[in-house]
Amino acid sequence: MAYDAVFVSTAWLAERLDAPDIVVVDGSWYLPAQNRDAAAEYAERRIPGAVRFDIDAVKDSASDLPHMLPRPEAFAAAVGALGIGDGMRIVVYDGPGLFSAPRVRWTFKTCGARDVVILEGGFAAWEKENRPIEHGAPRARAARSFTARLDHSAVATADDVARALDAGSAQIIDARPADRFRGEAAEPRPGVRSGHMPGALNVQATALVADGRFKDAPALAAAFADAGTDLDRPVITSCGSGVTAAILATALETIGKPVRALYDGSWSEWGASDRPIATGPAKPR
């Protein structure tokens, strides 16, 4: 899929802010170490008319894992209440430019939204270009009807990952920092072991992004190739909790190599279980 089928520019959005079939979604989410409050930032300033989608609120409430994909009926109710309905073009952004927006886009698409794009450069670019910013209480949107249809094929379970590793049917690519992948740094979540799935590869999500945007296509392809990825073979992406795994998936999509699935539970699930782990550099099977 072409880059321009995944991203829209700030200029493109600025020209269409009042279009009735477009809804802008602030999908900002931050790690504790980033010391940022997504809800407070949205309340203070946002792209005019934007609604806020919180992955920690719209999630599978039956799971004790962080921000797991919500059930279709819960997703439909949540986004319908935000004024997002069938047939709308959804433009997602986040504060830094390219961090949580890919996860929000993946969530929408996996739950049945057909037309979801990411604002290139995010709110940081929008603000830097002195484009209009809305302050004060957000504008309420009229509720709409959203038909959710879960694409099960886009979501990998721990068993799916284990089978893929055993059979060599897909490459598992982990987006976490290299020191956590190698088991040299502690995981931020209590009770989660350090290391990686035996046979997994490591492409740090941060290595793909510069100034809130993806690097160019050759640089993206090189980052995956340097990690030992065969771009012509199926890929399942993973990370700490399913957020930066979506950055990997989106990067591959933009260079025409869509992934098989995203491991939603990611290392938060695998590392807290009794499944096998490895430490040190990646040793592909």
Report the catalytic residues: 239
The continuous run of DSSP H or E covering 181 comes out as: helix 178-181
Q: Looking up tokens 């920690």, which residue turns up?
A: 56
Alpha carbon distance 77, 58 (integer Å): 10
Alpha carbon distance 55, 78 (integer Å): 11
- CB burial of 107-121 (b: ≥16 within 10 Å; e: otherwise) equals bbebbbbeebbbbbb
Segments of the chain assigned E as strands: 7-8, 22-26, 51-52, 89-93, 116-119, 155-156, 171-174, 201-202, 209-210, 213-214, 235-238, 261-263
Q: Please, what's the largest Cα pairwise distance for the chain?
A: 54
Alpha carbon distance 175, 197 (integer Å): 12
Q: For residue 14, what are the β-bridge partners?
A: none
Give the number of C-alpha atoms closer than 13 A to the C-alpha of residue 50, restricted to the C-beta side. Answer: 33
Backbone dihedral region for residue 191 (phi beyond 0: left; psi -120 to 50: alpha; all else: beta)? left
As a residue count, the chain comes to: 285
